[in-house]
Structure 1
């Protein structure tokens, strides 16, 4: 357990120390996100914060590896962990290139699927799908497309929700913490190390990214966190022939999954590209209803905590259902607060 704490604290410390330096560098080099009619910020913002998140995670994992935290892993687990780590590096580089040079959407997507296929080849793969009351089914040749869609889809889902100060970092941090506890309970300590490092990096970044944000993570940070969360779901959770093994990552990541899926389906229904920028995401709708940025983000945090606690309860963690009941009470209060804030005066 001490290795997990080392990973969390090391990632958090590196991000806290490195982010101000990255911000200064971005301002000097002009690597900023300019405001426009669709975006919420009203001044140029450095969008290279993902560099510090990425560096924090890599430093943390290297420290743990050097200290023997990954010693004694079965060979297939070692391939999986390295697959997620190196895949995260590749997704980060794709996002960083987009932050610096603005790549075409189709080019990014092709590169992401290519990386996902390579990662699948080294062992990060969804092999089975479990249907309630019917049991598990080996995916066979469908494993590659399903795994690739999961990895690429989650990377883009986290990127799509990165539209309000602190939203993507907070949601990713909460999801990583939920995955950490479930992975430990399912006796997947190496995957839990990845989750601990990611949680530390994400929560450390909130020091500078929560409203009012001083820096954005950019596509590099969002792709890295989204891919890593998806990878942890594959190597740490989706391994058993149980319904819970399949549902756990889906429940923990339900908020970005449902939000992104709904927006993409609406765009396709209107004949638009799924990558068309608009204001249809949940955070946009809450802002349009009258909530502040902070209230919007905290409400979505509460939703993420609720589905994460539900996953922990369903997984059978000690006290898991108690956490779920507590999160349910918190969500009820949050819903009441939102309802009161969006009501027209006099109603």
Structure 2
């Protein structure tokens, strides 16, 4: 069976499992009272089940195990098969940390300590960043800095996806777009192992949008956000950074630029104001857009366009055929979204004068 067919199987199985299990997860969550209740910081008005990440997790893992049982791993080099299993184990543990937080409200420090421990174990087992590109012309081996840089990348991305999960459909859509771009890029870079994980994650994230897009019927919770953030970061390492191609090393940071920049800006803003970076507030990009009078759906579509735009730049820099053509199309789409947001903002502020 062609390896590309396994990628399609992973995508479809993951999406199917998510769509099939969400109603049951929602019903069980309501019965057990595992809901996200409205408060001053949150924008939803009614309690919503917050453990939808169980379905994303189940869909992704079931899809990868099915590909393995069908023999999809047999065509891969042994060291790549090992990387897949390390990413799977790491993603399971990150999901477990988030799911425990959904159930028991863990402290920020306890969550971080567990995340750092899991990320360190993944580094020890081979999922590691060994090179950086600086500025963009050469690769620099980072030696002992590999451990802290890898751990910060894995833990940081898990939390970055969790932090943008503040508007219906935002985290799932951004993760789905990023996973799909990684799927295309890793296939083009001849990294089928990483592409399998990206395909399964893309299917799960996009399937989840059926119930998570505004108005959301279910939230993914910390379990789903940590799972997707860690998995995206790990795919970026094993599929792109480890190829040691100058361009490829930069691509994960470009594909995931939106959550990276959002998280970085929020951390600096909180520290600048003398606040703890771990205390949630309303300083994210989506909060600024909502405060400007932009609707939830328009806010999400704008950030989707921004994510697709940086992803299209990654396609262009990868020298994928027609990659720059996609980038031009994405630029036009983003420009239209910027115009729409500007129109709403101008109309809102004009009426308030």
1:89 aligns with 2:92: yes
Unaligned runs of 5+ in 2: none
Is the partner of 1:137 in helix, strand or coil? Answer: strand
Q: Which moved more, 1:243-252 or 1:299-308?
A: 243-252
Q: Please, what is the CA RMSD of the aligned residues?
A: 1.1
Alpha-carbon offset, residue 133 of structure 1? 6.1
1:106 aligns with 2:109: yes
Alpha-carbon offset, residue 138 of structure 1? 1.3
8 Å contact kept, 2:305–2:333:
yes
**2:140 aligned partner:** 137
Post-superposition Cα deviations, 1:5-39, rounded to whole Å, max 9, x if no partner, equal 10000000000010110000000000011100100
8 Å contact kept, 2:53–2:221:
yes
Alpha-carbon offset, residue 132 of structure 1? 3.5
8 Å contact kept, 1:130–1:241:
no
**2:292 aligned partner:** 289
Is the partner of 1:345 in helix, strand or coil? Answer: helix
1:261 aligns with 2:280: no
**2:329 aligned partner:** 326
Distance in 2 between residues matched to 1:133 and 1:126, nearest whole Å: 16
Paired residues for 1:195-214 under 5 Å: 195-214=198-217
Q: 1:306 to 1:133 in 2, by over 3 A?
A: closer
Distance in 2 between residues matched to 1:132 and 1:91, nearest whole Å: 32
Q: Which moved more, 1:28-37 or 1:130-139?
A: 130-139
Distance in 2 between residues matched to 1:204 and 1:224, nearest whole Å: 15
Q: What TM-score results when the alignment is normalised by the length of structure 2? A: 0.97
Q: 1:133 to 1:229 in 2, by over 3 A?
A: closer
Distance in 2 between residues matched to 1:133 and 1:327, nearest whole Å: 23
Could you tell me which of 227, 232, 248 is aligned with 1:229? 232
Alpha-carbon offset, residue 270 of structure 1? 2.0
8 Å contact kept, 1:35–1:44:
yes
Distance in 1 between residues matched to 2:284 and 2:57, nearest whole Å: 26
8 Å contact kept, 2:136–2:247:
no
1:251 aligns with 2:236: no
1:345 aligns with 2:345: no
**1:21 aligned partner:** 24
Alpha-carbon offset, residue 131 of structure 1? 1.4
Could you tell me which of 306, 310, 325 is aligned with 2:309? 306
Distance in 2 between residues matched to 1:90 and 1:245, nearest whole Å: 27
Unaligned runs of 5+ in 1: none
Paired residues for 1:46-65 under 5 Å: 46-65=49-68
Distance in 2 between residues matched to 1:10 and 1:246, nearest whole Å: 30
Q: What TM-score results when the alignment is normalised by the length of structure 1? A: 0.98
**2:81 aligned partner:** 78
Is the partner of 1:129 in helix, strand or coil? Answer: strand
8 Å contact kept, 1:76–1:123:
no
Q: 1:86 to 1:312 in 2, by over 3 A?
A: same
Post-superposition Cα deviations, 1:30-80, rounded to whole Å, max 9, x if no partner, equal 001110010000111100100000000011001111111111322221221
1:191 aligns with 2:194: yes
Distance in 2 between residues matched to 1:52 and 1:130, nearest whole Å: 37
Structure 1 segments, 4+ long, off by >4 Å, are: none
Distance in 2 between residues matched to 1:294 and 1:241, nearest whole Å: 39
**2:164 aligned partner:** 161
Aligned length: 347
